[in-house]
Structure 1
C-alpha cells in the first residue's frame, strides 16, 4: 500500500544503482527511472546525483531516504497486522535458497503452503548457501534455505532436518562395491567437485582435512555449480562426486548411480533462516514453521527409503 515511488527510491538508494534496484524489484530500468523522476518532480528538487556509473544521494535525498524507510516499515507492519485480524495470509514473500533445496525440497514446501494460502506469492532466488545467508543477513530477502549451520549474527535460524551426504559413482566404478569409504580410500580416484561456497564442497573438504588428506592434492577433473551437471558427468564415468541423498533418489531408483556411505558420516544441516532484527510478519513466521515441518517429514521419508 506504500507509495510505489518511495519503494523504488529506497531500493535505488540502498543498492546505489538503477539496474540493481530494477532487478530486485522485478521491474525494468526505464520504469525505475520514471518513478524516480516523478518523485523528484513532486519535491521539486534533485534527490540523486548520477555520475561515473554510481548513484549517490543529495542532501534532500538523504532526508527522503530516512523517512521512506520508516514509512515503508510502517506500511509493511500495517499490512501484516490487518491480515492477522482477517486471518488471511496474502502477498509476496521473498525467498532465497540453495540449488539443492530449490530442486529437491522447495517445490513440495511451496505446493503445500499454496494449498492452504493461495493468495501468498513466493518469489524465489536461487544461489549457493553462502550467498543466500548473506542476502538474508542484509535484509534483501525475507527468508532463506541453506545447507550449512548459519553463523551470521544478524540471522535467526531454525533447523529443519539433516540430509546425509553420500559418495556417488557409476555401478562399474572401482569404489562401487564398498559399503562405506574413508578419506584415504579416495586418493588416486578422480573427483568431480562443486563450486566454491557450496555447502557440500565445504563439508567434504573438512572431512578430507580431518583425516589428514590434503585437498590440494586430490585429482579434481572439474568444478561445477550445477548439481545436475555433476551427476551427468558421474553417469558418464568421469569420476566420483558427493551429493545429498535427497538429490539422488531418481538415479538410485534407475540404477544409473550408486551411493556409498562416508565414514565418519557427513550431514548437511537444512536450515530456515530469517533476518534477526527485522519485523517478522505472521506470513514469514507461518511459512518458516511450515517449511521446518515439511523438511523434517520429507527427511524421514527419504531415510526410510534408504533402509
Structure 2
C-alpha cells in the first residue's frame, strides 16, 4: 500500500548500502538505484550521500526518512485494521519480552497463537523488563511481557500468573544443603546478580532490603545481562544467583544446579502490558487476552508436572 520509493529509501537508510537493501527487498541493485533517483527527482534534492563504502543521509534525507517511517508504520496499521473488518486477524505485531519470558514462555505462546492466526507476523524484541516497559509506554512496541508490576500511567497491565524465585548454586556449594535460605544466610556468600532494570534483580534487592540488608553489604562477584551466563557461573561454583523456576527446570533435572526456595518464599509476576489506548486494535487486544489465558494454563501445567 505504501509508496514503493519510500520502502526502498527506508531500506537503504537502514542498511547503509544499496546492495544490502536490494538483497533485503529481493530487488536488483539497479532497481533500487532507480527508485532512489525517482524520489530525489520528486523532491528536487539529494537525499543520500555516497562515499567511503557506506551511504549516509543528507539533512533533507533525514527529514524524508522520519516521515517515511511514520508513513510506512501507518500503512502497516491500515492493513491490520482493514484485515480486522474481514474478521481475519493479520499483520505485524510488535512484542517486547523480558529475557526469561522470551526464552522459557514465549515460544509455546507464539506457536499456539500462530496456529490460530497464521496471517499474524510476530516481531519480538528481547530486553530486560524495565526496557520493555519503557518501549511499550512510548508506543515503540504494541505490547510487552514482563516480570515486574508496572506503575506507569501510560500503561495498562494484566497479571497472567507468577513464578517462584529460587536460589541457584552448584551442587557442591555450601548453600546446597539448605532446605530454604534467608537473606541473612545469603549475605555471607558471593552473589551473581543481573543487569540494572532486570526484574529478578529488582525483586532480589527488595528481598534483601526487607531484612535490612542493602545491596552495598553484599559481595557481588558478577553483574550479567545473560541468564545463560549467570547459570554457567553458578554451576561452576563462582557464587549463588536468584532465578525463576521456569528458567532452571532443565538444569535441575540434569544435576548442573541446585534450586533452593527463599525464606520467606518470593514470586515474580508475569505481566502482559499494553499502551493505555481506547482505540487499541483488535489484534493487540486478542493477543494480550490470549497471552494471559495461556500463561495461566502453562503455569498450572508446570506446577503439576
Give the TM interval when normalised to the shorter protein. 0.7 to 0.9
Write the distance in 1 (CA, Å) between the matches of 2:83 and 2:174.
59
Moved more, 34-43 or 182-191: 34-43
Q: How many residues align?
A: 291
Write the distance in 2 (CA, Å) between the matches of 1:224 and 1:187.
19
Question: Where does residue 92 of structure 1 map in the other structure?
Answer: 92
The answer on 1:252 being equivalent to 2:252 is: yes
Q: Is the 8 A contact 2:84 2:90 kept in 1?
A: no
What do the CA deviations read for 1:189-243 (whole angstroms, capped 9, x no partner)? 1111111111101110111112111211211211111111111111111111100
What do the CA deviations read for 1:91-114 (whole angstroms, capped 9, x no partner)? 221211111111100000011111
Matches within 5 A, 1:141-160: 141-160=141-160
Question: Where does residue 264 of structure 2 map in the other structure?
Answer: 264
Matches within 5 A, 1:10-21: 18=13, 21=14
What do the CA deviations read for 1:138-172 (whole angstroms, capped 9, x no partner)? 22222211111122222222221111111112233
Q: 1:296 to 1:186 in 2, by over 3 A?
A: same
Q: Is the 8 A contact 2:80 2:92 kept in 1?
A: no
Q: Is the 8 A contact 2:158 2:271 kept in 1?
A: yes
Q: 1:88 to 1:185 in 2, by over 3 A?
A: same
Moved more, 283-292 or 238-247: 283-292
Moved more, 119-128 or 102-111: 119-128
Q: 1:291 to 1:38 in 2, by over 3 A?
A: farther
1:133 deviates by 1.4
Write the distance in 1 (CA, Å) between the matches of 2:296 and 2:166.
19
1:22 deviates by 5.2
| CA RMSD between the two structures | 3.3
Q: 1:181 to 1:277 in 2, by over 3 A?
A: same
Q: Is the 8 A contact 1:163 1:244 kept in 2?
A: yes
Q: 1:160 to 1:57 in 2, by over 3 A?
A: farther
Gaps of 5+ in 2: 26-31, 50-55
Q: Is the 8 A contact 2:8 2:21 kept in 1?
A: no
Write the distance in 2 (CA, Å) between the matches of 1:38 and 1:145.
42
Q: Is the 8 A contact 2:208 2:214 kept in 1?
A: yes
Question: Where does residue 108 of structure 2 map in the other structure?
Answer: 108
Gaps of 5+ in 1: none
Moved more, 235-244 or 262-271: 262-271
1:31 deviates by 8.2
Q: 1:30 to 1:298 in 2, by over 3 A?
A: closer
Question: Where does residue 44 of structure 2 map in the other structure?
Answer: 44
Q: Compute the TM-score of the two structures, normalised by the length of structure 2.
A: 0.81
Question: Where does residue 171 of structure 1 map in the other structure?
Answer: 171
Q: 1:228 to 1:65 in 2, by over 3 A?
A: closer
